A = this chain, B = another copy of it.
Amino acid sequence: MDFSISKQEEAFRQELRTWLEENLPEGWLQGNRELPEDKADYAVFLRKWQNTLYEGGWGAISWPKEYGGREATLMEEIIFYQEMVRVQAPPLINYIGIHMVGPTLIQSGTDEQKEKFINKIITGEEVWCQGYSEPNAGSDLAAIQTSAEKKGDQWLINGQKVWTSFGHLADKCFLLARTSTHPEKKHRGITAFLLDMNQSGVETKPITQMDGQQEFNEVYLTDAVAYDADIVGELDKGWRVMIALMLHERTGIGAELFTLEKRFDDMVAAIKDYQINGRPVMDDPSVRQKLASFYARFRGSLLNYYRNLTSTLKNGHPGPESSIDKLAVSELTKEMAGFMMSLQGHRGMLWKEDAPIDPVWQDEYLFSFGQTIGGGTSEVQRNTIGERVLGLPKDMGR
């Protein structure tokens, strides 16, 4: 066992840390981390941040050097996320482009596709979204019904996508559509398209979440147009492309985990400061007990992640154990957020500017309900772990 990091890795961390100190948006390090409220300004701000990263050489660190990357090792990628969480850097607007679409095109895109898309991803010029889920295909992704039909040299795409993050800001969409309607198995006959979002056949509609935010979109496709040149991989073999694409996300839920770590520290700090009736809440033995049990679970999740990372480093790709990380982190995040609500007593119902500690805890609580749903529900994660890690029998319909 060896938790130390190499000199090279340490140098990487220092270089990044220094760069961040100099290049984070103004006032950021001092705690002024407001993102623009206006949606257009918000997009401009985040594209600019992506471009700043790119110009500093941090736009897509795991990419090959020829495409502007620095061929970062997996450990360096981990360090990258640790540092981003440490300074609470602005969100990455082009995560999908950088971690999924880019590497996929680099690996198996046509020369034309590489030429056309890759540089604009890393610079932030073109933001990508992901067109996977549909109203009737959530956990059961293979049930998608959005269809692509060839008319002349055009593919006409019709259907509806949902839960598309950044859909309203995106220029391009990595979209799954059905090109063969009666396949033997329903995950066949699906094709992966690189779709232009800026066309009349594409309409996005924001979804208001239970926390009042709008981070996701419905995308309505009405004779949206794509061409043969926009197909990734082979026709009808989009499922395979999607699986390969997921393997490029090699840091798994690292970023969420480091965020959880930070959240836990923030929670402890907030509790240390919090008093009710002049009595420090940290004096309450049941609070200490609960925190201790969260500590064990959060440390356990983090260490699990490192253990899985060790095996990713050995095998070159993540295994189904990543579902263990996802399940642990999402459930724990939700539970911790609920605890922090309870801790604030009746006054914890006060929200926004009236919140007793910091409105972030109320917002986090509401948002946390999405964690165990998005990216595969906890139920789906349990099936994956049961079947692929433990070898239990397959579920109905799978």
Chain A residues in contact with chain B, CB under 8 A? 285-286, 289, 396
Residues from chain B with a CB closer than 8 A to the CB of A289 are 286
- Residue on B nearest A284 in the bound complex, by CB: B285
- Residue on B nearest A286 in the bound complex, by CB: B286
Specify how many copies of this chain sit in the oligomer. Answer: 2
- Residue on B nearest A289 in the bound complex, by CB: B286
Residues from chain B with a CB closer than 8 A to the CB of A286 are 285-286, 289
Residues from chain B with a CB closer than 8 A to the CB of A285 are 285-286
Give CA–CA (A396, B286) in the complex, Å.
Answer: 43
Give CA–CA (A16, B285) in the complex, Å.
Answer: 50
**Top 4 A-B pairs, shortest CB-CB distance:** A396-B396, A286-B286, A285-B286, A285-B285
- Residue on B nearest A396 in the bound complex, by CB: B396
Give CA–CA (A396, B396) in the complex, Å.
Answer: 8
- Residue on B nearest A395 in the bound complex, by CB: B396
Give CA–CA (A325, B251) in the complex, Å.
Answer: 48
Chain B min CB distance to A379 (Å): 15
Residues from chain B with a CB closer than 8 A to the CB of A396 are 396
Give CA–CA (A289, B284) in the complex, Å.
Answer: 14
Give CA–CA (A285, B289) in the complex, Å.
Answer: 13
Give CA–CA (A285, B396) in the complex, Å.
Answer: 46
Give CA–CA (A285, B285) in the complex, Å.
Answer: 10
Give CA–CA (A286, B284) in the complex, Å.
Answer: 11
Give CA–CA (A146, B289) in the complex, Å.
Answer: 54
Chain B min CB distance to A199 (Å): 42
Give CA–CA (A289, B289) in the complex, Å.
Answer: 14
Chain B min CB distance to A285 (Å): 8
Give CA–CA (A194, B377) in the complex, Å.
Answer: 52
Q: What are 5 A-B pairs at a CB distance below 8 A?
A: A285-B285, A285-B286, A286-B286, A286-B289, A396-B396
Chain B min CB distance to A33 (Å): 39
